Structure 1
């Protein structure tokens, strides 16, 4: 915990390492997570479809960040964290204006069945 996934259009100019460092700092400072518990997976998508536009035109780019936390954070804490995530995306994605960038973030409570192991 936290379990973080970042789904994004492959063609984005995205400083993923810098984003992950900033994101982990924000999760620790805002949501009281432990630094060593922060794990982020980036999942670039080959095709991003938007409305009826032709995906081959690359006119739209999408990035969505999902953060799974153990239950107990207030709605205010979650909103503060998603706001910080969106600011970090602005800082770490170079938008050249060719594509419209659609960025979003959400916090989810991990199910009580959540378990993990480390070896």
Structure 2
């Protein structure tokens, strides 16, 4: 916890300036500051999507970024909203469209289900 997934259009690798390590560093620092998470517990994965549609059209001149943040229950709705707004500002700051592409960004913070479990297996 927290479990963070960044779904994005595959073209973000080519049509945008995006320093992913700097984004993740700022993202994790933000989650620690706002949601009182522990830094070693922050985990982020990026999932590119080849086929993205806006309306009925394939999004050739558009790109999507959606940040999902799953936290253990206990944060107020105000904390979740503040985290979501701050994450959107991070996307705005770190993802720069080039060549006339339009960026659609969104974020959500949700409670992990009560069934959530994890383990860490140290290397030998």
**TM-score normalised per structure 1:** 0.93
Q: Is 2:80–2:109's contact at 8 Å kept on the other side of the alignment?
A: yes
| Deviation, structure 1 residue 74 | 0.3
Over 3 Å off, 4+ runs: none
CA distances 1:44-85 after superposition (whole Å, capped 9, x unpaired): 111211112234xx1111000000000000011001100110
CA distance in 1, matches of 2:101, 2:47: 19
CA distance in 2, matches of 1:47, 1:23: 26
CA RMSD of aligned residues (A): 1.1
| Structure 2 partner of 1:28 | 32
More divergent stretch after superposition (42-51 vs 90-99):
90-99
| Structure 1 partner of 2:8 | 8
**TM-score normalised per structure 2:** 0.90
| Structure 1 partner of 2:110 | 108
CA distance in 2, matches of 1:43, 1:111: 21
